[in-house]
Chains A and B, each alone.
Chain A
Amino acid sequence: MAELFRRVAVVQLAPRLGDVEYNLQQLEAGVRRARQEGAHLVVFPELALTGYFLKDMVSTVAIRHDSAEMERLAAMSRGIEVVVGAVEESEDFRFFNSALYFRDGVLVHVHRKVYLPTYGLFDEARYLARGDRIRCFASALGRAAVLICEDLWHPSTAYVAALDGALAIICPSSSPLRGISEGRDHDDNAAYWELLNAVYAQTFGVFVVYANRVGFEDGVGFWGGSEVVSPTGQRLAKAKYYEEDFIVAELSLKEPRRQRVAAPLLRDENVDLTIRELCRIRRTGGVLGYKGEFADEEASEETPNGGKRERS
């Protein structure tokens, strides 16, 4: 097959907390620039439409599928694919930290953040409802999954996406800077993320498009450093730390194949083994002491020698 190239842009901006109109204008400007740069896809950070530490503002900045803001977002995407983080209000009035994926004026995919952090400086689950699915869909980069920030700290999300056929993981993020170590020009959290992105890209043979924000909210800074990482772990584009920036990466759609020929890890992946072990762990407790909602439905349990015995 011919070498197919795609241009991906990431707009690393500083949303104004709770000012949807201002942020919309920033998004529109970002898309204009991405279009000028010939990008097929432009990715904005998590909650780019609203800012991050929303607290009680969540319900007032949320947009519904029939909101005027939703129409404006869709309209931006003529001739380009656009990923925007927003608070999405459902028909039954729940609020999700969502990434909205638009193509040619149409909302084609929504990812609702599945892991809402509530530890340390985070308080998301207090205000937001939890998404319940990870799904791949057709994107400009081929089959892709969107995972939002904390989602990606759970390896299971990337694993599910990869097994669902993802060739790219697109990750809008609002990652706060924290932790100082000697001798490097970025904070500990930034360093950890870069490790994570590189590992996922190579392990699963996928592009990782990571779009982080900058700016400060109540003294909490966001470290930026957005990047596009190829399936071979090579950094195709890298944004500045701590400052607004705009990056474009040109990527070859042959890259996932190259990596997967060299290291066919996904081919060798034993899904049945994984499912079996996960079911066993859910049944017997495991590290979290979690006995899942279906525990009682499991009528039998494997004995160490591989045979089966009835539960007493």
Chain B
Amino acid sequence: MAGSANDLEQSQTLEHAAGASGGTKAADRWTCPSIPTNPPLLRRILTAFIANEVRKVGVERVVVGLSGGVDSALSCLLAAEALGPHNVLAIKMPYRTSSPESLAHANLVIARAGVESLEIDITPQIDAYFARFPDADRVRRGNKMARERMTILYDHSARWHALVLGTSNKTELLLGYGTLHGDMASAVNPLGDLYKTQVWALAEAVGVPAEIVHKQPSADLWAGQTDEAELGFGYREVDRLLYCMVDLRYSRAELLAAGFPEEFVRRVSEMVRNSQFKRRLPIIAKVSQRTIDRDFRYARDWGR
């Protein structure tokens, strides 16, 4: 990724450009544009996306896990708008250590969206499992809970003839800050190409209650957890970096010239690279002439 030869070439190009414009240092000339949000346009595109991608598989409904956070709140409201509230089932799945505030916020969303809802306490099944593995650390426990919730969503999607609606945003997906086969699992995801910064802006515009939009993001996997404390940087900050790195294809030298600290750039680049496996199907050993996804290539919307 960070090939040194490329970086050298890049920085020489920058110096050259700076020299040509009359001795201005390259660092003074690289800036990071702000991430565009345009909530009305995003709202139109994403509700159209949900309606189209759900209905064309012959389904009218979705189920969505409501955590009390802004991502699931936004997904839920967009789905209610796209499909009608009666076609959305919001499922709250608290564990005994989950914050009561999360549940209260989930209830606010349900009331605001007017969707169907269900509460399933996952404590018994989680505790029964970890009774056999009492030394499991909190990361294992957190991941297990996320996957437990996934199986519940998929079970109810079968019961209700619905698709599972995703809630992972682009920031989380790029950083790998999610549980594979847990909260990352879904059939359709309206938020996967939106940075957290954009999620906040859109959430505000579609009427996610303000206390949800403005609270500290948390996976609520243990008491007092916040995403930003765990990650070691803020979402707005990392969003700016990822936007320049991914969307605008800035090189490492350009990122540094735009003022991002070197260690920050290095760490985030590594997180993106190391989590690539989470964004792909499992690796398949090729033995035949046509291997799934390699030389057997069809759109998921095949025939739809």
Residues of A participating in the B interface, judged by any CB pair closer than 8 Å: 14, 16-19, 53-57, 177, 180-187, 215-219, 221, 242-243
Q: Are B42 and A218 in contact (CB under 8 A)?
A: no
Set of chain A residues within 8 Å of B301, measured between Cβ atoms? 17, 53, 216-218
Residue B49, interface by CB 8 Å: yes
Decide: B299 and A180 in contact? CB cutoff 8 A: no
* B contact residues around A16 at 8 Å (CB): 56, 303-304
Chain B nearest CB from A110 CB (Å) reads 26
Say how far A118's CB is from chain B's closest CB, in angstroms.
14
Question: Which of the candidate stretches B33-41, B59-67, B172-180 sits at the interface with the other chain?
Answer: B33-41
Q: CA A16 – CA B58 in complex, angstroms? A: 13
B53 and A180 contacting across the interface, CB-CB below 8 Å = no
How far apart are A39's CB and chain B's nearest CB, in angstroms? 27
Contact B37 A180 (CB under 8 A): yes
**B300 with A216: CB separation less than 8 A:** no
B36:A56 contact, CB within 8 angstroms: no
State whether the Cβ of B140 lies closer than 8 Å to any Cβ in chain A.
no
CA distance A268 to B210 in the complex (A): 62
Q: What are 23 A-B pairs with beta-carbon distances under 8 A?
A: A16-B56, A16-B304, A17-B304, A18-B302, A18-B303, A19-B303, A55-B298, A177-B45, A180-B37, A180-B38, A180-B41, A180-B42, A182-B37, A185-B40, A186-B41, A215-B52, A216-B48, A216-B49, A217-B299, A219-B49, A221-B48, A221-B49, A242-B44
B187-229 contacts to A, CB under 8 A, are 188
User: What 9 A-B pairs have minimum CB-CB distances, sorted nearest first?
Assistant: A55-B297, A216-B52, A53-B299, A218-B299, A18-B303, A56-B297, A180-B38, A17-B301, A180-B36
For B42, list chain A residues within 8 Å (CB): 180
In the bound assembly, the distance between CA atoms of A218 and B49 in angstroms comes to: 10
Residues of A near B41 (CB, < 8 A) are 180, 184-187
Q: With A and B bound together, what is the CA distance between A180 and B56 in angstroms?
A: 25
Q: What is the distance, in angstroms, from A186's C-beta to the closest C-beta of chain B?
A: 7
Which among A57, A180, A215 has the greatest number of chain B C-beta atoms within 10 A?
Answer: A180
How far apart are A95's CB and chain B's nearest CB, in angstroms? 15
Interface residues on B, range: 20 to 34
A184 to B53, CA, bound (A): 25
- With beta carbons under 8 angstroms apart, the residue of A17, A54, A183, A242 that contacts B45 is A242
In Å, the complex CA distance between A140 and B44 comes to: 37
Question: In the bound complex, what is the Cα–Cα distance between A219 and B54 (angstroms)?
Answer: 11
List of A residues within 8 angstroms of B48 by Cβ: 216, 221, 242-243
B133 at the interface (CB under 8 A from A): no
**Which partner residue on chain B sits nearest A14 by CB separation?**
B52
Q: Chain B interface (Cβ within 8 Å of chain A)?
A: 36-38, 40-42, 44-45, 48-49, 52-53, 56, 188, 296-304
Q: How far is the CB of A10 from chain B (nearest CB, A)?
A: 20
CB distance from B59 to the nearest CB of A (A): 15
Asked if B298 and A57 sit within 8 Å, CB to CB, the answer is yes
Whether B302 pairs with A219 at a CB distance below 8 angstroms is no
Q: Which residues of B contact A187 (CB under 8 A)?
A: 41, 45
Indicate if the CB atoms of B53 and A216 lie closer than 8 Å.
Answer: yes
Q: B38 contacts which chain A residues (CB < 8 A)? A: 180-184
Q: Known pairs A18-B302, A56-B296, A242-B48; list 8 more (Cβ under 8 Å).
A: A17-B304, A57-B299, A180-B38, A181-B36, A181-B38, A184-B38, A217-B301, A218-B300
Task: Name the B residues within 8 Å of A221 (CB-CB).
Answer: 45, 48-49, 52
Nearest CB in chain A: distance from B35 CB, A: 9
- Are B49's CB and A17's CB within 8 A? no
Complex contacts, B297 vs chain A, CB 8 Å: 55-56
Nearest CB of A to B72, in Å: 19
CA distance A55 to B303 in the complex (A): 12
Inter-subunit contact B52/A56 (CB<8 Å): no
Complex-state Cα separation, A166 to B90, whole angstroms: 57
Cα of A215 to Cα of B53 in the assembled complex, Å: 9
Q: Which residue from chain B places its CB closest to the CB of A53 in the assembled complex?
A: B299
Nearest residue, chain B, Cβ from A185: B41
Give the CA-CA distance A187 to B36 in the complex, in Å.
11
Chain A residues within 8 Å of B298, by CB: 55-57
Q: Give A18 to B302 CA distance when docked, in angstroms.
A: 6
Which of chain A's residues has its CB closest to B52's CB?
A216
B295 to chain A, nearest CB (A): 8
Bound-state Cα–Cα, A184 to B42, Å: 11
